[in-house]
Amino acid sequence: MRTEIHITEEQLQLLLNSLWDLYGYDLNNYSKASLTRRVTRLMALDRFPSFAELLYKVKSDKHYLKHLIEEITVNVTEMFRDPPFYKALRNLVLPEIASKPFIRIWHAGCATGEEVFSMAILLHECNLLNKSLLYATDINPDVVEKAKKGIFPISQMKEYSENYMASGGTGDFSQYYTAKYDHVIFNKSLRERMIYSTHNLVSDSSFNEFQLVICRNVLIYFDKDLQSRVFELFDNSIEQLGYLALGAKETLKFSGIYPKYKQVEKEKIWRKEK
Amino acid sequence: MAQGEIGISKLVLIGGSAGSLEALLDIVSNLDSAMQIPIILVLHRKSSSDSLLSDLLSTKTKIAVKEIEDKEKVQAAHIYVAPGDYHILFEADGTVALDDSEKVNYSRPSIDVAFESAAEIYGASLCCMLLSGANSDGTNGLRYVKERKGVAIAQAPQAAEVAFMPQNAIDNRVVDYVLDNKEIANYLNRLNAEKA
Ligand SMILES: C[S@@+](CC[C@H](N)C(=O)[O-])C[C@H]1O[C@@H](n2cnc3c(N)ncnc32)[C@H](O)[C@@H]1O
C-alpha cells in the first residue's frame, strides 16, 4: 500500500548541493523536515523509482528545476485567512497609515495572490485603495503568474465570503468579482493597484520602503538563522512607524530587530518605533 | 506486554480525533507528575480552541502543558499541544517545524504526517499512540513508526468513544499494543520509571 520512498538526510544534502552548484538556488536554510517531506512527495508524484534518478534528472534537465521549485515550496493560501487578523488590519493598522499621501504595502511570499486581493478589498472599503500600491512577490514564478490574473475557482467563494464577513467586511463579497463557468475573475480596479514580481527572500535585497510588510506563513519554512536574516531585510524595508505582519504561528520575539518594534495588542503585527 | 521493549522511548506522540478529549483528560490525570518524557498531542479540532485545550489539560496534571511553537526545542517534563491548522514536523536538532501545506486525510494537523516525520528522526526511540476518532488518519503513520522500530499503540476500541480510528490501525496490523486509558497511563508511567 505505501510506495513512498523516504530520502535520507545525506540524500537531501546532495540534492541541495546540486541546486546550489548548478542553479544558484540556496535552500540550505530551509526546514529540513519540510524539504524531506516535499521531496518524498515529489518523487511519488513524478514516479521516480529511486533518489538517484531524481538527482540525475535535476542534474541533466535544467527545465526540471522550475517544476522542482514549484513542488517543494508550499503554496497553500486562502482569502481572508484568519479573519481576526484582517479585522486587526482594518481597525488598528489602516487608520494609522490612512493619512499618508501614498501607501506602499509589500506582500512577501504572496503565493497565488489571495492575500493580496484580500488586502486590496480591505483598502477599498477604507477608501484607501486609490492611493495605495500593493507590491506582491514570491520565489515561485508560476504562482506569481497565477496571482497576476486574479482568477480563482468559484468553488472557494463560499468559504472566502464567510471569511470576509468574519473579518468585518462591510459590503457584498460578490461585488468584487465576475463569475465565469467554474471560476471567478476579480475586478480590474483591484488588480490595477498591484505589482507582481519574483523575489527571493534568501538572496534578493530590499527594493523600497513600505508602510506595511506582510509575510505570512513563509518564515515557518526557514530555520532560525534565515529567519533572522529575513527580519533584517524587512527592517530595511519598513519606514519609521511602519508595520510588519506575520502568520498566526510566527513571531518577531526572538529576532535581533525585536527591540525596535512594539506589538499591536495581541496580534501578529508589530510597529517600528525606533 | 513485552517488558524488554519498554524504556527506550524518548518521545511520545498521541494522536486523537472525535471523542479523544475525554480519553486524554483521563490519561493525563493519571500520569506520574514527575513524568520526564515529553509528550506531544496531535489532535483534530477547530483552530480557535488552541489555548483552551492547554488550559483544560493543565487542570488535570502538574506536568507543564503548552502549545508547541515553530522551531521550539522539545523539552523533558512537558506535555505539548500541536497547534491547529498546521502540520507538525520534526527536525534532527530536536526542534519542531510547523507547516501549512495541504490537509492530509482532511486534517491539519494530520496524525500521519506527525507520526511519519517523528519516526524519521526518532526511529526506535519513538512511541506513538492512536486514540478515538472517526477518521483513518494515523494508520499509515503507525505503520511507518513500526517500520522504523518505534512502538505503536492503539486505544482499545471498546474504550474509545469513536472506535473507528484505533480499530482501523488494529485491522491493518500496525500496532504493538492495544490498551485502555488506564493501561495507557500505566504504560507511560512505567516508561518514565525505567528511564529514571
Ligand atoms: C504557504 S505560502 C503563504 C502564502 C500567504 N502568504 C498566506 O499566508 O496565505 C508560502 C509562500 O512562500 C514562498 N516562498 C518560499 N520561499 C521563498 C523565498 N525564499 N522567497 C520568497 N518567497 C518564498 C512560497 O513559494 C509560497 O508561495
pLDDT of residue B47: 60
What is the per-residue burial (b if ≥16 Cβ within 10 Å, else e) of B31-54? Answer: bbeebbbbbbbbbbbeeeebeebb
Q: The sheet that has B64-67: what strands, in order across it?
A: B64-67, B78-81, B39-43, B11-16, B126-130, B151-155, B177-179
pTM: 0.94
Give A36's contacts in chain B (Cβ within 8 Å): 117, 120
**Which DSSP string do the residues of B82-117 spell out, in sequence order?**
PPTTSEEEE-TTSBEEEE----BTTBSS-HHHHHHH
Terminal CA-CA length for chain A: 57
C-alpha of residue A140 to centroid of ligand 1, in Å: 8
Catalytically active residues of B, by annotation: 17, 44, 137
- Give the C-alpha separation, B113 to B101, whole Å: 11
Domains and CATH numbers, chain A: 9-73 (no CATH), 83-272 (3.40.50.150)
Cα–Cα distances in angstroms (integers) from residue A71 to residues A40, A57, A105, A231, in the given order: 11, 15, 27, 25
Residue A189 belongs to what H/E stretch?
A: helix A188-191
Question: Mean pLDDT score of chain B, rounded to an integer?
Answer: 93
C-alpha cell at A145: 503568474
Contact B90 A33 (CB under 8 A): yes
pLDDT of residue B2: 43
Please choose, from the candidates B5, B32, B17, the residue with its C-alpha nearest in 3D space to the C-alpha of residue B184. Answer: B32
Q: Counting Cβ atoms within 10 Å, is residue B60 exposed (0-12), middle (13-18) or buried (19+)?
A: middle
C-alpha of residue A88 to centroid of ligand 1, in Å: 22
Tally Cβ neighbours within 10 Å of residue A52. Answer: 11
Contact A2 B120 (CB under 8 A): no
Name every residue whose Cβ is closer than 8 Å to that of residue A224 and which is 6 or more positions away in sequence: A254, B71
**Beta-strand pair A132-138/A103-108:** parallel
Contact B99 A224 (CB under 8 A): no
Contact A249 B69 (CB under 8 A): yes
- Give the C-alpha separation, A87 to A96, whole Å: 14
- Give the C-alpha separation, A17 to A13, whole Å: 6
Cα–Cα distances in angstroms (integers) from residue A52 to residues A49, A224, B144, in the given order: 8, 30, 22
A201 lines ligand 1 (CB under 6 A): yes
CATH code for the domain defined by B11-195:
3.40.50.180
Nearest CA in chain B to A7: B120
- Give the C-alpha separation, B119 to B144, whole Å: 7
Residue in B101, B117, B120 closest to A76 by CB:
B101
pLDDT of residue B4: 42
Per-residue pLDDT of chain A (274 residues; tens, 9 = 90+): 445 778 999 999 999 999 999 988 899 999 999 999 999 999 999 999 999 999 999 999 989 988 998 899 999 999 999 999 999 999 999 999 999 999 999 999 999 999 999 999 999 999 999 999 999 999 999 999 999 999 999 999 999 999 999 999 999 999 999 999 999 999 999 999 999 999 999 999 999 999 999 999 999 999 999 999 999 999 999 999 999 999 999 999 989 999 999 999 999 999 999 8
C-alpha of residue A75 to centroid of ligand 1, in Å: 6
Give A219's contacts in chain B (Cβ within 8 Å): 70
Backbone angles phi, psi at A132, to 5 degrees: -115, 150
B138-166: pLDDT as tens digits = 999 999 999 999 999 999 999 999 999 99
| Domain locations along chain B | 11-195
Residues listed for chain B = 196
DSSP B158: G
**Mean pLDDT, 10 residues at a time, over chain B (196 residues)?**
57 96 96 96 78 90 96 96 96 96 96 97 96 97 96 97 98 97 97 84
- Distance from the Cα of B135 to chain A's closest Cα (Å) equals 18
Atom 17, ligand 1: which residue's CA is nearest? Answer: A139
Q: What is the ipTM of this complex?
A: 0.92
Choose which residue among A27, A34, A139 to substitute to test ligand 1 binding: the one with the highest number of ligand atoms within 8 A of its C-beta.
A139
